[in-house]
Amino acid sequence: METILKVEHVSISYKIGDFKDIGLKEWTMRHLKGQYHVETFMAVNDVSFELYKGDMLGIIGTNGAGKSTLLKAVIGVMEPRAGRIIRNGSIAALLELASGFDGDLTVKENAYLRGAMLGYTEEFMDAAYEKILDFSGLRQFENRPFKQLSTGMQSRLAFSIASMVQPEILILDEVLSVGDGAFQEKSAAKMREIIENGAATVLVSHSLDQIRELCNRVLWLNHGKQMAFGETETICNQYEEFLNGKIF
């Protein structure tokens, strides 16, 4: 089987302390007097997993578990403090869908703007634009200012643009819950299509039903630590017992 993504003993840490709220002079005085305090916060601590072509990994855990931080490292936005990440193929990420738009531009103008931000050529957008409009269901709004759209509609446009490509690695952070129920079913079907075409996909979601339906592997994080990695039903059941206070 072809390995598409490999995460080996990855750890990510932040420096936290009072240095953000003081000036250089105050920092110097506290440092000289031994009154300057800084701590290391381990957001992700020794996480390992491997995905093959066609795998879909669900990452679960409560808020603050390190899920989004791990995704940023997988994408390449952050560098791990320890360990390494091996990516064998192109990568596309759907994160914070409603960000990066200009409220005063029209829906059409924002579609091209977002496409440019994702690295799409103007020729690609010309060819894909009608499909994007149809998929998002925003055809009647294409000449309206973007700020007149609801957050759900904005996210639908972002998802429709980002899902027009066929990457080898696809990263999804709570994006299959955008829009109404009908659009959620449509977006889930689109993700299945991408997966069936061979992408290795990573999905962060608080919906265990969604994880069970779509994923064949699950990674459970808790306060940055890897609690379990393996078959979907087994890990989801363990996580539910954890949430109900029956284990750990």
Residues 127-171: tens digit of each pLDDT: 999 999 999 999 999 999 999 998 888 888 888 887 887 788 988
Task: Judge whether 134 and 183 are in contact, CB under 8 Å.
Answer: no
Among the listed residues 237, 186, 178, 188, the one whose alpha carbon sits nearest the alpha carbon of residue 210: 188
Task: Give residue-wise pLDDT tens across range 64-101.
Answer: 899 989 999 998 888 999 999 999 988 877 776 666 78
Q: Hey, which bits of 18-73 come out as E strands?
A: 38-52, 56-60
pLDDT score of 84 = 95
Specify the higher pLDDT residue, 178 or 193.
193
User: What pLDDT band is residue 35 in, cutting at 50, 70 and 90?
Assistant: low
Q: Where are the alpha helices (DSSP H) in 107-207?
A: 107-117, 122-136, 151-162, 181-196
pLDDT at 247 over 60: no
The pTM assigned to this predicted structure is 0.76
Mean pLDDT, to the nearest integer, of 189-209?
84
pLDDT score of 220 = 97
pLDDT score of 151 = 81
The residues, ordered by sequence, that sit 6+ positions from 103 with a Cβ below 8 Å of its Cβ are 145, 146, 147
pLDDT score of 23 = 65
pLDDT score of 170 = 86
pLDDT score of 245 = 82
User: What pLDDT band is residue 19 in, cutting at 50, 70 and 90?
Assistant: low
User: 3-state class of 146 per DSSP?
Assistant: helix
**Domains along the chain?**
1-90+169-174+200-206+215-248 (3.40.50.300)
pLDDT at 29 over 90: no
Task: Judge whether 166 and 197 are in contact, CB under 8 Å.
Answer: yes
The residues, ordered by sequence, that sit 6+ positions from 243 with a Cβ below 8 Å of its Cβ are 62
* Average pLDDT for the chain: 86
pLDDT at 27 over 70: no
Mean pLDDT, to the nearest integer, of 108-134?
90
Mean pLDDT, to the nearest integer, of 19-23?
61
